[in-house]
Structure 1
Amino acid sequence: MRSENEDNIDHDTVISFGNEWNRFDQSRMTQSEIENGFNEYFDIFPWDLINSGSIGFDMGCGSGRWARFVSPKVGHLNCVEPSDAINIAERELYGFKNISFIRGSVTNNNLTNESQDFGYSIGVLHHIPNTRLAIKSCVKLLKSGSPFLLYIYYALDNRSIFFKITWRASNLMRKVISKLPLFIRNIVTDIVAVTIYMPLSILSNILEKIGINTANIPLSYYKNRSFYTMRTDSRDRLGTPLEQRFTKDQIKEMMTESGLGEIVFSTHAPFWCAVGIKK
């Protein structure tokens, strides 16, 4: 039997995400909101490097919300997910005949090294004990010349001191909330969505309409997001046991060490999205 360290997973975090995606399977989001989110993450992805015959992977697919956009563009997509959310992805993507659903981790997923034409991992690698090793594990699956897109939580390296202080306070909240029983955890994060996410998003929306820059207001990213998304992200941000954050330079260094070149970072939120090509 493989140990938790060998699989490079944190079981409490895996259970937490299984609960989150079961509760927020994204079926209540509008198509336009999901599509806007996809475009934010994938706008730097080099689509010209893949085609209708390409085979790739979605590492940590969750409910499969991004796979539904990628699948029609490629030959086959391997959706890998360690939690119970793999069952939700399979249900939500029923009818997509070119998708395989694999319950596994970054290091244990039945995919052969150097077999994939592309890969992506959105919002996953910072929830893994050894993020550096996780990136290497993903890159090993790729053929030379294949792109890998990732989104990893930033260390607020491009933000003000006020922003960083606010994050430190929220991280203290996370350390407490993430230890609560799942039922109570869900209630508390919903309360946070109502009392913190929503007011700040409304304020940001109002200020933007009168011409005031809201970039330095915490949670201004949600000014055009639905309350459903706020609830989902509040649960994600405050209810997850393991979270790590990295600067842009740290992410670039890990990607380079993993064998990626031609690295490009997105210039807009969410930070940091980056893509590299396997050497």
Structure 2
Amino acid sequence: MMKTQIDKKTIADFGEQWTRYQDNSGFYGSQDLLADYLEPLFSPNDIEGLCVADIGSGSGRIVGMLLDAGAKHVVAVEPSDAFFVLSANMAANSEQVTLLHVPGDELRVDEPLDLVISLGVLHHIADPNPTVRAARAALKPGGKMIAWLYGKEGNELYLAVVEPLRKITSVMPHSLLSGFCYVADLTVMVYAQLCRWLPLPMRNYVSEIYGKLAADKRRLVIYDQLNPAYAKYYTRAEALALLEENGFNNVRVHQRHGYSWTVIGDA
């Protein structure tokens, strides 16, 4: 499939991002955080022994989580220059990981998979439907796909600030954006202190997830929000339709921390 200019720019943006930020240690790459993405729709305990694909692997954070959860084999799909970081990070697990330097819509496997995961990726693809269809085709009957997507509901105040800001930050050079993230993190940490006493928007996320991250990972989370050329914030109906309209059955959705969607469907 021919990529649009916005797709090419987004892939390049993530290639630069994950080439610069290669470390996935601490809570950022933990089983606790994997459970937070997946539950209550799916338990990380059920990954043990499965053959899984991770679409949009970046530097390998989710791949590492899947291996730690006991996945039998992981197909790691990464189209950007981060593929070379991914390859280096997965060198010690080469027998358990197949690396594909292709976009998600070119996912092909020799044996059908039990599970396809894409966490924080599909909302950066202008037309994710071909990728979801490729995931569906790669699954065995009864296999599952899980995606985590930015949400529109619950993010109204955040989007009022961030969407205009992204028009500037998405074209900033790395050094300037990196410096901006230091300042933004200080601001968010002040907000986190206020959340301890006040019922502010995204209170659960700030206290239960963001506040548990090391300082460098907090800045990376901000960078990840402000850097890519393209990002879509899904309504609940759109999150369900993304899987339903591409061949998945029994599609369920969970609103994660009141600001995003975890969605799962059966092949």
Q: Specify the TM-score bucket, using the shorter chain as the normaliser.
A: 0.7 to 0.9
Secondary structure of 1:240 counterpart: coil
1:109-120 matches, within 5 Å, as 109-111=107-109, 115-120=112-117
Give the alignment partner of residue 134 of structure 2, picking from 128, 137, 140: 137
Query: CA shift at 1:50, angstroms?
Result: 6.0
Q: How many residues align?
A: 261
Structure 1 runs of 4+ off > 4 angstroms?
Answer: 46-51, 214-219
The equivalent residue for 1:171 is 163
Secondary structure of 1:4 counterpart: coil
The structure in which a higher percent of residues are strand is: 2
The equivalent residue for 2:122 is 125
Q: In the alignment, does 2:104 pair up with 1:106?
A: yes
Letter in 2 for 1:108: E
1:31-42 matches, within 5 Å, as 31=27, 34-42=30-38
Letter in 2 for 1:36: D
CA distance in structure 1 between the aligned counterparts of 2:51 and 2:14, rounded to whole angstroms:
26
Q: In the alignment, does 2:243 pair up with 1:255?
A: yes
* Structure 2 runs not aligned, ≥5 long: none
The answer on whether the counterparts of 1:81 and 1:104 sit within 8 Å (CA) in structure 2 is yes
CA distance in structure 1 between the aligned counterparts of 2:121 and 2:105, rounded to whole angstroms:
14
When the two chains are superposed, the root-mean-square deviation of aligned CA atoms in Å is: 2.7
Letter in 1 for 2:2: S
The equivalent residue for 1:4 is 3
Secondary structure of 1:258 counterpart: coil
Moved more, 180-189 or 141-150: 180-189
The equivalent residue for 2:230 is 242
Query: CA shift at 1:46, angstroms?
Result: 5.7
Query: CA shift at 1:131, angstroms?
Result: 2.3
The equivalent residue for 2:260 is 271
Secondary structure of 2:57 counterpart: coil
* TM-score where L is the length of structure 2: 0.86
The equivalent residue for 2:206 is 220
Query: CA shift at 1:172, angstroms?
Result: 0.5
- Deviations for 1:9-43, whole angstroms, at most 9, x for unmatched residues? 7111112112222222234x325863321111122
The equivalent residue for 2:173 is 181
Distance 1:61 1:216, change over 3 A: closer
Query: CA shift at 1:118, angstroms?
Result: 1.3
Secondary structure of 2:147 counterpart: strand
Secondary structure of 1:66 counterpart: helix
